Amino acid sequence: MIRIDCNESDPQEIDREWLESDGQGGYASSTLENCHTRRYHGLMVANLQAPEGRYVLFSKLEDSLLVNGDEYFFTSHRYPGVLFPPAPPILNEFLFDICPRFIYRAGESSLQKSVLLVPERGILLIRYDLAGSPKAGLLRLKPFLAYRGYHSLAHANPYLHSQTEEIANGFSIEPYTGMPPLFIRTSTSSRFVASPLWYKRFEYSQERERGFEWEEDLFLPGIMEVPVEKDSTVILAVSCESSEEDPEVLWEIEILRRRKEFSDDEKLADGFTGEDRELFLALLRAGRQFLIKTPSGRPAIIAGYPWFASWSRDTLISLPGLAFSAGRIGEGVEILTEIGRHEQECLLPNFFSACGAPEAYNTVDSSLLYFRAVQELFRVTDDIGLIHNRFWPVMKRIITRFLAGTRFGIGIDERGLLHAGEGGNALTWMDATVEGVPVTPRHGYAVEINALWYNALAFATDLAGRFDDREGSFAGSLPAIRRSFRETFWIPELGCLGDVFHNGVLDRSIRPNQIFAVSLPFSPLDPQEQTGVVRTVRDQLLTPCGIRTLSPSDPRYRGCYRGNAQERDSSYHQGTVWPWLLGPFGEAALRIAENQEQEKESLRRHIRFFLKNHLREAGIGSVSEVFDGDPPHRPGGCIAQAWSVAELIRLYLLIRK
């Protein structure tokens, strides 16, 4: 459990964010003070099948308790020059275990507010537990609706249908034609007073900082009032479908289900003790938020909350940690199968739309990461029949087409090395572009792409021997490819690998991509060269939060990830720190370590120090997408990133005592 004492917190920490996901790609999220700072914040951000995509339906709730003549607010709003209410919510502490919980003081009363989304049901439950009040009171609830795509903002307009209909202990409303209705009700007797009104110019400070539009109007259908007494419990249920299910029963069923999941996590955590055990369990809980089934039933991994969707590269990097290592084999196999089903000309889709349609086959590494994911599945399950029947045909097609050549200048040269890229395409994971131009142009022979290519051929050769499939073996080619790799990328005077070979010139930038030539199961380097790579990455790129994308000694280094979209994209891979790279770095460090247990303990201390601080500082209970390259390494990007969490889970299991 993560506990934050808000009486001891710095006022500057109010922007820390919480997240609750619904198992379909939707979520609820805001700040500790429930004062939205992003356009992506909302209490019901639903992933809809029709219309397709994620929509902020139910944005926020102004909730307050009236008792003994005083009104205590549990939410705040920022308007131009005004914070309402003038004083911040009277929040004592925040707890995050089974779901986000807020504990408030309200005069002589104590109130606990809990937020829970029922997976795959599209139901939001907000529970209020009142204790300590000697007098009767009134819980006042003012629901604010946005009904817009989660990348956009809402503004007052004449097209919204403001009419409401009464239902038992609540009301329903269908604000726009073609959008789902909303049913809002309480578990106990309540009164709804229709008072349709637009509230204007809510301010979102994070959007202003990021250079985007940052003011929004929200619609209030009316006010709900619920009489409460000492030790009362009230549950507000919000859904897109009419239901007579008791909210208290829904709550208890979901709590029991989550406790069963936590019990399973405890078993997986055997071998961990003390802080390591608590941190590992927190990672497992965070990892569960990314594995989803879309409304159309497609299994997927959300790359990051709040704004990323399902991306193949992120999915394939995340699968080993989120699924295979975490004991969720069936889900992982479904996702890997689904991705392989969309292979075209040896390429895999870069991302999937909300309805599951594959989009933009502009990636070279996803096809090679597919082999890496299958490797991890095989390592965990040892199910050779599954690999042969489900994945081997896709793997053979990918290799065959790479050898023949395909789109975007992807193909093999006479040395057996893999080249990729042409025009303005950015085909590797360092894919940021500004005005259509790659910030880190990597056309040609990228070091990690060729390390992945060598690993894929070596793994295929190993499997071909098991399957007695001569066509799938490349045993005769591997020594030459290994030699070509070292001749092309190795820099003797630096004792490490260059990053990209293009037009006869090797880019000698010190970047983390070289670590894959050591971390992958089949390495093209000899032991001495592997040691040099790990030493270089450790000395120049390793930080407490992850691995820098460029050495600080490079004149192109950018130590801060902030500003508008163009400024952020310009620094995205030019020094910004990525936590997910701790996975391959740790794997490589263990490979070359003379004393395995000493290296494991060093990595444990590193992860422990990082997570003890970070799990409470940005997206509470999860791991951010990126960090500044310069100290104090401020977190940035998404507040919860799938591959950040996944690779830390995998690394923790590698170094388990």
Residue 198 belongs to domain spanning = 19-241
pLDDT at 324 over 60: yes
> Which tens digit of pLDDT belongs to each residue from 421-472?
987 788 999 998 888 889 998 999 999 999 999 999 999 999 999 999 998 8
Task: Note whether residue 165 is domain-resident.
Answer: yes
Task: Note whether residue 300 is domain-resident.
Answer: no
Sign of CA dihedral 399, 401, 404, 409: negative
What Rg value do the Cα atoms of the chain yield, rounded?
Answer: 26
Q: Is 78 helix (H, G, I), strand (E, B) or coil?
A: strand
Report the 10 Å Cβ neighbour count for 517: 28
> Which tens digit of pLDDT belongs to each residue from 231-253?
899 999 999 999 889 999 999 99
> Which tens digit of pLDDT belongs to each residue from 372-390?
999 999 999 999 999 999 9
- The torsion angle over the Cα atoms of residues 541, 433, 54 and 352, rounded to 10 degrees, is -90
Q: Out of 241, 257, 284, pick the residue that ends a domain.
A: 241
Strands, E assignment, 108-169: 109-118, 123-131, 137-149, 164-167
Task: Note whether residue 163 is domain-resident.
Answer: yes
pLDDT at 87 over 80: no
Q: Out of 210, 241, 272, pick the residue that ends a domain.
A: 241
Whole-number average pLDDT of the chain: 95
Task: Note whether residue 356 is domain-resident.
Answer: no
Quick one: pLDDT at residue 108? 82
* Average confidence (pLDDT) over 346-361: 83
Distance CA 303, CA 318 (A): 9
Quick one: pLDDT at residue 132? 79
- Please tell me the least confidently modeled range out of 53-57, 347-351, 380-384: 347-351
Domain total of the chain: 2
Q: Out of 241, 256, 271, pick the residue that ends a domain.
A: 241
Quick one: pLDDT at residue 424? 78
Contact call for residues 508 and 488 (beta carbons, < 8 A): no
The CA–CA distances, whole Å, from 547 to 145, 544, 575 equal: 41, 8, 9
Q: Two tokens at 468?
A: 């007695």
Task: Note whether residue 434 is domain-resident.
Answer: no
Quick one: pLDDT at residue 14? 61
The CA–CA distances, whole Å, from 629 to 209, 546, 559, 577, 624 equal: 19, 9, 4, 5, 14
Task: Note whether residue 142 is domain-resident.
Answer: yes
Alpha-helix residue ranges (DSSP H) falling in 468-495? 478-489
Task: Note whether residue 266 is domain-resident.
Answer: no
Of 166, 213, 155, 158, the C-alpha closest to 191 is: 166
Quick one: pLDDT at residue 437? 87
The CA–CA distances, whole Å, from 129 to 115, 138, 568 equal: 12, 13, 43
CATH code where residue 120 lies: 2.70.98
Task: Note whether residue 416 is domain-resident.
Answer: no
pLDDT at 230 over 80: yes
pLDDT at 355 over 70: no
pLDDT at 503 over 80: yes
pLDDT at 9 over 70: no
- Please tell me the least confidently modeled range out of 1-15, 64-78, 459-473, 503-517: 1-15
